[in-house]
Structure 1
């Protein structure tokens, strides 16, 4: 079974790419996989196995 998380990143204007990379790496360490990133990075949909 899968579980999902929707994240609305608050990246600001400075170092946006680095902040996004850090955020995605943080979630990856928790077992999340990116399923979708909305245009302009408004929200990100993440997925992982619920019974991990």
Structure 2
């Protein structure tokens, strides 16, 4: 079974790419993988196995 998480990315003015990379890597360490990044908004959808 899968579980999902939807997060809103808070864009900033400085170091935005580095902050986004750190944010994604933090969730990856917890077993989440990105399955969708909305183009016109800052919404990121993650997925992972619930019984891991």
TM-score, reference length from structure 1: 0.92
Q: Which residue of the partner structure matches residue 27 of structure 1?
A: 27
Q: What is the CA distance between 1:10 and its match in structure 2?
A: 1.3
TM-score, reference length from structure 2: 0.92
How many residue pairs match? The answer is: 52
Q: What is the CA distance between 1:42 and its match in structure 2?
A: 1.1
CA-atom RMSD in angstroms: 1.1
Q: 1:30 to 1:41 in 2, by over 3 A?
A: farther
Q: Which runs of 5+ in 2 are unaligned?
A: none
Matched, 1:45 2:51: no
In terms of fraction of residues, the more helix-rich structure is 1
Q: Which runs of 5+ in 1 are unaligned?
A: none
Counterpart Cα distance in 1 of 2:11 and 2:25: 14
- The structure 1 segments of at least 4 consecutive aligned residues displaced by more than 2 Å after TM superposition are none
